[in-house]
Chains A and B, each alone.
Chain A
Amino acid sequence: MSEVIVITSGKGGVGKTTSTANIGVALAMEGKKVVLIDTDIGLRNLDVVMGVENRIVYDIVNVIEGVCRTKQALIKDKRFDGLFLLPAAQTRDKSSITPENMVKLCEELKKEFEYIIIDCPAGIEQGFANAIAAANRAIVVTTPEVSAVRDADRIIGLLEANGIYDHKLLVNRVRIDMVKKGDMMNINDIVDILAVELIGVVPDDENIIITTNRGEPAVMGKSKAGLAYRNITKRIIGEEIPFMDLDDKGGFFGSFKRIFGKNN
Chain B
Amino acid sequence: MQKDIVVFKNTAECFNLILRSEPSFDDISKRIEEKIMSNRDFYKGSSLSLNYVGRNLSLDEEKIIVSIFNSIAGANILDISCKKSDGISSTEDNLQTDSLSEDQDDLQNKTVSQIVSDAISYSNEGITKFHKGTLRSGQYIGYRGNVVVFGDMNPGSEIVATGNIIVLGLIRGIVRAGVEGDTNSVIAALGLQPTLLSIGDVITRTPEEDKKSKKKDLKFEVAHLKDDAIYISN
Task: Using CB atoms and an 8 Å cutoff, list the residues of chain A in contact with chain B.
Answer: 150-151, 153-154, 156-158, 160, 192-193, 195, 253, 256-257, 260-261, 263-264
Residues in B whose Cβ lies below 8 Å from that of A156: 136
Residues in A whose Cβ lies below 8 Å from that of B136: 153-154, 156-157, 160
Check if A257 sits within 8 Å of B151, measured CB to CB: yes
**A and B contact pairs by CB, cutoff 8 A, 15 listed:** A150-B137, A150-B154, A153-B137, A153-B138, A154-B136, A157-B137, A253-B168, A253-B169, A253-B190, A256-B151, A256-B169, A260-B133, A261-B134, A263-B132, A263-B133
Interface set, chain B 183-209, CB cutoff 8 A to A: 190
Closest residue of A by beta carbon distance from B169? A253
Total cross-chain contacts (CB, 8 A): 54
A123 to B224, CA, bound (A): 38
Measured between C-beta atoms, what is the minimum distance from A146 to chain B in Å? 9
Residues in A whose Cβ lies below 8 Å from that of B139: 157
Residues in B whose Cβ lies below 8 Å from that of A260: 132-133, 150-151
Measured between C-beta atoms, what is the minimum distance from B154 to chain A in Å? 5
Check if A257 sits within 8 Å of B133, measured CB to CB: yes
A225 to B136, CA, bound (A): 30
Known pairs A157-B139, A261-B133, A261-B151; list 11 more (Cβ under 8 Å): A150-B155, A150-B156, A153-B137, A154-B136, A157-B138, A256-B151, A257-B133, A257-B134, A257-B152, A260-B132, A263-B132
7 closest residue pairs by CB, A with B: A157-B136, A260-B132, A153-B137, A154-B137, A261-B133, A154-B138, A260-B133
A264 to B133, CA, bound (A): 7
Residues in A whose Cβ lies below 8 Å from that of B169: 253, 256-257
Interface centre among A151, A160, A260 (most CB of B within 10 A): A260
Residues in A whose Cβ lies below 8 Å from that of B138: 153-154, 157-158
Closest residue of A by beta carbon distance from B132? A260
Check if B156 sits within 8 Å of A195, measured CB to CB: no
Check if B156 sits within 8 Å of A154, measured CB to CB: yes
Closest residue of A by beta carbon distance from B135? A157
Check if A195 sits within 8 Å of B133, measured CB to CB: yes
A154 to B169, CA, bound (A): 18
Measured between C-beta atoms, what is the minimum distance from A29 to chain B in Å? 35
Check if A256 sits within 8 Å of B168, measured CB to CB: yes
A256 to B170, CA, bound (A): 12
Closest residue of B by beta carbon distance from A260? B132
Scan B47-70; emit 1 where CB is below 8 A from any A CB, else 0.
Answer: 000000000000000000000000
Closest residue of B by beta carbon distance from A196? B134
Closest residue of A by beta carbon distance from B154? A153
A260 to B151, CA, bound (A): 8
Residues in B whose Cβ lies below 8 Å from that of A192: 215
